[in-house]
Structure formats: structure tokens, C-alpha cells
Amino acid sequence: MSGATGTPTGVRARAAEDMKRSARVARKLGADVVVGFTGSQIWKYVAMFPPVSADVIDAGYRDFADRWNPIMDEFDAQGVKFALEVHPSEIAYDHWTTVRTLEAIGHREAFGLNWDPSHMYWQGIDTVGFITDFADRIYHVDCKDTRLRPATGRAGLLGSHLPWGDPRRRWDFVSTGHGDVPWEDAFRALNHIGYDGPISIEWEDAGMDRLHGAAEAVGIIRDLLWKRPEASFDAAFSQQ
């Protein structure tokens, strides 16, 4: 591909315009939230070897903010919010990188988070605590599960370059309700923070037919959407 549009700078410019366009399309469709990824200039340093200075990491967060603040300006103009899926390879992939990401972009209201516990669980992140830690930034919820297998001393947490569903892996994505994510605790936490936004089923399971798994997952999540009480459970004891 020739010309400026085929250079890395040109590709990034087109991608930024596509993200701005997504805000305009969302507004026309009546959607309030767009879920997506940001990428990361510094993900390649996740192992911190070869070691780099703190200046390199700081520059990575500035690069993110420089690229995404203009995009968020368009989201603001359209009255639409962006929800970053906290995910390995992104600028935010665990608790502390999420803190730095929100700081880098000035905690602007248009930029929030998609809570998908499947990518947090295998990293050892407290999936329920994440909800309360970032209560004002949870703009979208994805329901996808992860099963963590017992440690064998052979497989690490990075996948071992083994395919999904291979029993030698340390962990796998599975259909909601078939893994280790504490769904009831999570939905109680979402109720606690007053979350009333979208809830989606993201289905990935190498060992289950998708039509079976997706339908079952919807039923499991619907069972967790019980009506909240109108008064405290001990209110009756205060009546005279």
C-alpha cells in the first residue's frame, strides 16, 4: 500500500476517525455506550525485560492520552460514553494500570470501563472488588467466564502457546456459569453501586456448542437479575 494513508501514522489517523464516527453512529442508533479497545504503546514491556525506565512507561500513558483525548472530545459532543475493556494488550489490563489510565486521561467522564471478569480472573485480579473500586466508571458489563485449572507445575498463566480447550492449559474461557467467576457476588456488587447499564453475554467456550452455551448463559444471568428490596430486611423490627 502506498501513500501517507498506508503509513503507521496514516493508519492511526484513520482509526481515530473511525472511533469518532462510532460515537456519531451510536448517537443515531440511540446507544449511550461504545465498547472497545485502545491499544497500548507499552504493553510489550509487560514482563519488564529488557528493563525500561519509568520515563518510558510515563511516555506510554501520555501517548494514550494524546491519542484518545481528541476522540473523547467527539464522544462528549455526541453525549456518548466509551467503555474500555480492561484486557491484556490494552493500556489498562489490571487494577493499577486502570488507575494510571484514568489518571492519564484526566478522569474525564466520557471515558469509562467495560467490566469483563474473564480477562481479570486468570490474572488473579479481584473481579468483584474491581466493581466497587471503579464504581463510577463501570459503563458496560460483559458476562464471560474463565475456568482456572489446578497448578501442575508445567503450565503458567500466559497460555503456553496451547490452543483453546487444550487440557494442558492453566486456564480457559468457558460459558458463563461453568467457570470460577463469582457471578452472584458480582451482581450483588453491581446492584450495590447502582449499575443500571447494558448487560451482554459474550460467549466463548472451545468445548461447548455455542447455541447451547449462549442460551444457557442468558438463563443463568437472568436468574441473577432479581428485584431489589424496597426497604431494608430488618425494617419490620422498627415498626411500633
Cell of 203: 460467549
Phi-psi region of 152 (alpha: psi -120 to 50; beta: other; left: phi over 0): alpha
Nearest CA-CA partner of 146 in 79, 216, 226, 203: 203
- With residue 146 as reference, give the H or E element that holds it: strand 145-148
232 by Cβ neighbours in 10 Å (0-12 / 13-18 / 19+) ranks as exposed
Nearest CA-CA partner of 198 in 52, 72, 34: 34
Nearest CA-CA partner of 185 in 128, 123, 122, 119: 128
pLDDT in 10s for each residue of the chain, 240 residues: 444 667 988 999 999 999 999 999 999 999 999 999 999 999 999 999 989 999 999 999 999 999 999 999 999 999 999 999 999 999 999 999 999 999 999 999 999 999 999 999 999 999 999 999 999 999 999 999 999 999 999 999 999 999 999 999 999 999 999 999 999 999 999 999 999 999 999 999 999 999 999 999 999 999 999 888 877 767 767 765
Cα(219)–Cα(176) distance, rounded to whole angstroms? 10
Check if the beta carbon of residue 12 is closer than 8 Å to that of residue 6: no
Domain ranges of the chain: 30-115, 139-227
Check if the beta carbon of residue 34 is closer than 8 Å to that of residue 22: yes
